[in-house]
Amino acid sequence: MVIREKPEGEIRFESDNERLRINTPRREFPDVNKVFGTIFKTIIAFVILIVLFSSVKIIGAGEVGVLNEFGRPVTVLYEGLHFIVPIMHHVSVISIQIEKYEAEASAASKDLQIVTTTIAVNYRITPDEDVVMGIYRQFRGSHEARVIQPIVQEVIKANTAQFRAEELISKRVEVKNNILNDLKQKLSKYGMEVLDISITDFQFSPEFDRAIEDKVVAEQNKLRAEYELEQKKVEVQKTIAEANASAISEILKAQGDAQANIIRANAQAQAIESITKQITDPFIKYYYIETWNGELPLVMGTSDIMLDLSTIVDEEQEQTSNISTKAVVSRIGYN
């Protein structure tokens, strides 16, 4: 078989038995200049877009930006849209919102008890240009680790040492206020405003916890005993009061009875006096006649001479009896 190629691109296969002809198109290569031009234009457009986006900086609400010119802080940018020069300028964003710093701290109390607590500090950076520039120059965003953390630890240790372990619980509000005031004073020097703190918990050693529980139980028993004693005192006072009331009632009753007797006696005396004034000789004679039963008195006389009329009456009755007897006897004998 023989293969022949013509200049027009036709390839012919020839053999003794048959002949095969294949027509192929001519190859056309793209223009190199056009390709590189398109790529270059695309890169330029991409760079322009990057430059445009890099020249715009948006500062959000609750934030400030520090404008750096080749790494040197120049000014402070507040919230809004700002235009900068790429590469030459760089903006570092700093939050001026209320931030929360939370940490654990261990300290010794006044009675040398180890106390562990968790404290949360709510603070914010004062949105003043000089303050923001100063914080940025000194700390570059690491103010929590370099300032707040050591100051919080120092303040907690200093205030915990002023109270006994049990006072940290009983005087919790006072301890919190002392720590808050100290943090405000120390952090204000760095342009940070402390708004509030939260002491979530005080943890003591297991031995101290048991001692506290025993003390609480003892105090409860004491309070219960005092309450029972007070109850007994109240009962005694109640009994005394009832006895006093009963005695007073008896006294008042006796006084009332005595007063009633006095009143009755006075009334009787007044009645006797009134009757005495009304007794006269005619009234006596009248009263004697009205009350006489028809019998003569057995004794008569004066203070010097007393005459017993009973003997005379007896003699008269005896004589009368004898006369009657004789009369009866003589009548019987006559018959």
Q: Looking at residue 329, what is its pLDDT?
A: 44
Q: Looking at residue 297, what is its pLDDT?
A: 65
Query: Would you call 139 helix, strand, or coil by DSSP?
Result: helix
| Range 31-57 average pLDDT | 77
- CB neighbours of residue 59 within 10 Å: 18
What are the tens digits of pLDDT across the range 107-118?
Answer: 888 888 888 888
Residues sharing a CB contact under 8 Å with residue 85, sequence separation 6 or more, in sequence order: 55
| Range 306-329 average pLDDT | 56
Rounded Cα gap, residues 180 and 155, in angstroms = 9
Element (H, E) at 310: helix 309-334
* Domain boundaries of the chain, sorted by first residue: 103-204, 217-293, 295-335
Q: Looking at residue 254, what is its pLDDT?
A: 80
- pLDDT at 156 > cutoff 70: yes
Rounded Cα gap, residues 110 and 189, in angstroms = 29
Q: Looking at residue 333, what is its pLDDT?
A: 47
What are the tens digits of pLDDT across the range 9-21?
Answer: 444 545 544 444 4
Question: What six digits make up the tokens of 131?
Answer: 């303050």
Rounded Cα gap, residues 306 and 212, in angstroms = 109
Query: Would you call 241 helix, strand, or coil by DSSP?
Result: helix
What are the tens digits of pLDDT across the range 157-175?
Answer: 999 999 988 888 888 899 9
Fold type of domain 103-204: Tetrahydropterin Synthase; Chain A (3.30.479)
Question: What are the phi and psi torsion angles at 205 (to 5°)?
Answer: -70, 155
**330, burial (CB in 10 Å: exposed 0-12, middle 13-18, buried 19+):** exposed
Q: Where do we find the tokens 């003043």?
A: 128
Q: For residue 196, list its beta bridge partners.
A: 122
Query: Would you call 26 helix, strand, or coil by DSSP?
Result: coil
Which stretch, 25-29, 240-244, 279-283, 304-308, has highest mean pLDDT? 240-244
Query: Would you call 60 helix, strand, or coil by DSSP?
Result: coil
Which stretch, 156-165, 206-215, 302-311, has highest mean pLDDT? 156-165
Which of residues 76 and 289 earns the better pLDDT score? 76
Is 119:102 a contact under the CB 8 Å cutoff? yes
Q: Where do we find the tokens 């009334």?
A: 267
Rounded Cα gap, residues 158 and 162, in angstroms = 7
Task: Calculate the dihedral angle through the C-alpha atoms of 158, 164, 165, 170, rounding to the nearest 10 degrees.
Answer: -110
- pLDDT at 154 > cutoff 90: yes
Would you place residue 82 in the very low, low, confident or very high pLDDT band (cuts 50, 70, 90)? confident
Q: Looking at residue 139, what is its pLDDT?
A: 87
One DSSP character per residue, 158-215 reads: HHHTTS-TTHHHHTHHHHHHHHHHHHHHHHGGGTEEEEEEEEEEEE--HHHHHHHHHH
Would you place residue 320 in the very low, low, confident or very high pLDDT band (cuts 50, 70, 90)? low
Rounded Cα gap, residues 197 and 109, in angstroms = 20
Confidence (pTM)? 0.52
- pLDDT at 1 > cutoff 70: no
